[in-house]
Amino acid sequence: MPDVELPFSRNEYARRLAKVRSAMEGRGIDVLFVEDPSNMAWITGYDGWSFYVHQGVIVFQDRDPIWWGRAQDGNGALRTVWMAPDRIQPYGEEYIQSTVRHPMQDLAAILMREGFAAKRIGLELENYYFSAKAFLTLQKDLPNAQLVDATGLVNWQRTVKSDEEIVFMRRAARISEAIIDGIVERIEPGMAKNNLVAEIYRDAIRGADGHWGDYAAIVPMLPSGTDAAAPHLTWDGRPFERGQATFFEISGCYRRYHAPFCRTVFLGKPPQHLIDASKALVEGLNAGLEAARPGNRACDVANALHDALLKAGIKRDARCGYPIGISYPPDWGERTISFRKEDETVLEAGMTFHFMPGIWMDDWGLEITESILIHDGQAAECLCDRPRELYVKD
C-alpha cells in the first residue's frame, strides 16, 4: 500500500465524519452516497481529476466509508484517502460510456451486499455530477429502497471551518494577492488578454510564501468596457484598451481551498460615475464587514451593503456573497448560505465567505470583493490584504 500523506490530521477527518453521521441520523438516512467531489475530498481526502465519470463515497453509520469509482482511478484513491485498501472498491472499465450498462448498477450491487437493499438511501440529487439516468438506474436496481434527497447535507457540515482548514485558506489568500499584484503590474493598453491570463496562471500555480498553487475551480474572468456588464465572461485575444475598466475575478487555491478575490483596473483617467460607484461600493463593503459578526444573519450583511449603495443611487438586490472553502470545478462556492435579504441563517465564528457585491449595469461593470472569516466579537476579517479601491493605471 502506498504511503498516504493526508492534507489533514486523522482527528480532523474523524470530526468531519462524525458531523456527517449526526446529520444523517437527524434525517433518518441509513446510508449516504456522496458524488460531489468537494464532499468526497472533505470526508476522505480523495483528490483526482476523475469527476467526469461517476464516482462517490458511501458513508455508513457503523463502518468506514467506501470510496467507489472507475477502475483506473482506484490507484489514485489508494494514494489520497485515509481508509484501508479494502474500502476502495472500483467498478470495471466496461461501464465507462456504455450504452448497455451503467456504473450505478455496480453501486446498487454494493449497497445490496452491504445490507441496504430496503433502507433509506440519501442521494445528492441536485448536484453537478449526479445525472437523471444515475437516479433512474438506482431506482430500477433498488426497487425496495427509499431513495431520499440529501442534497446539501454534507455541504452544511462544511460551513464552520476548522483551524486546519483556515490555515489552507490563508495560504490560498496569499496566492490571490500575488495574482492581483501581477495583474496590476503587467496590464497595459495593447496587451493581449490571453497573454495576461497566461501570467495569471503562472502566478497561481507557482503559489506564494513557499506554498504551491493548485488549479482553481473557476477560470479567471476579466471582461472589459461594456462587456463588464456581463459578470461571467472569460477572455479572448483582444488587447486591453485605454479608457476602459476591466474587473478581474480570480482565486488562489491551495490543496483545493479557495480565497476568491476581485479587483477592477482602469487604464487611463476613469469617468466620474465609475469613481463614485467604486466609493459607494467600498462604503457598502465596509458596512457589510461590520455586520458580518456571529449572531447576526446573512441578510444583515446584504442589507448593510444595499443600504449604502442605495444612498449613492445604486439599486442592487441580488445576492452578494456565498460560503467558500474546499471545491472542485465548476464552482468554488459551497452552495448553502447566501448573503441576500431572504436568508436568515445565523452567522457563526469560523464561517468563511466570498463577500461579492459586484455591480453590473447596462454598459459597465465593477467588482471589488473580499474573502472573509467570521470572528467572535469583531467585524469579519478579510483574508486578503490589498487596497479596497478602484485601481487606476495611466
User: Within 72-121, where are the H helices?
Assistant: 74-78, 103-113
Domain count, the chain: 2
Same domain (yes/no): 140, 113: yes
Task: Record the cell numbers describing residue 353, joined without a space.
Answer: 465567505
Q: Where in the sequence is the domain holding 295, given as residue range(s)? A: 163-393
Domain shared by 206 and 355, yes or no = yes
Is 194 found in the same domain as 136? no
* Residue where a domain terminates, one of 99, 131, 157: 157
| Structural domain ending residue among the three candidates 157, 185, 220 | 157
Q: Is residue 1 part of a domain?
A: no
Q: Are residues 287 and 361 in the same domain?
A: yes
- The tens-digit pLDDT sequence of the chain (394 residues) is 467 899 999 999 999 999 999 999 999 999 999 999 999 999 999 999 999 999 999 999 999 999 999 999 999 999 999 999 999 999 999 999 999 999 999 999 999 999 999 999 999 999 999 999 999 999 999 999 999 999 999 999 999 999 999 999 999 999 999 999 999 999 999 999 999 999 999 999 999 999 999 999 999 999 999 999 999 999 999 999 999 999 999 999 999 999 999 999 999 999 999 999 999 999 999 999 999 999 999 999 999 999 999 999 999 988 999 999 999 999 999 999 999 999 999 999 999 999 999 999 999 999 999 999 999 989 999 999 999 999 999 8
Contact criterion met (CB below 8 Å) for 365 and 358: yes
Task: Identify whether 90 is part of a domain.
Answer: yes
What's the CATH code of the domain at 355?
3.90.230.10
Same domain, 53 and 114: yes
> Distance of CA 332 to CAs 128, 289, 335, 338, 387, Å?
13, 21, 9, 14, 23
Which is nearest to 294 in space by CA: 383, 197, 379, 384?
A: 379
DSSP of 339-365: -STT--PBP-TTBEEEE---EE-SS-E
Q: Are residues 140 and 213 in the same domain?
A: no
254 and 352, same domain (yes or no):
yes
Tell me the residue ranges of DSSP E strands in the chain: 31-34, 56-60, 66-68, 120-123, 146-149, 245-254, 257-267, 321-323, 352-355, 359-360, 365-366, 370-373, 381-382, 391-393
Q: Hey, what amino acid is at 263?
A: R
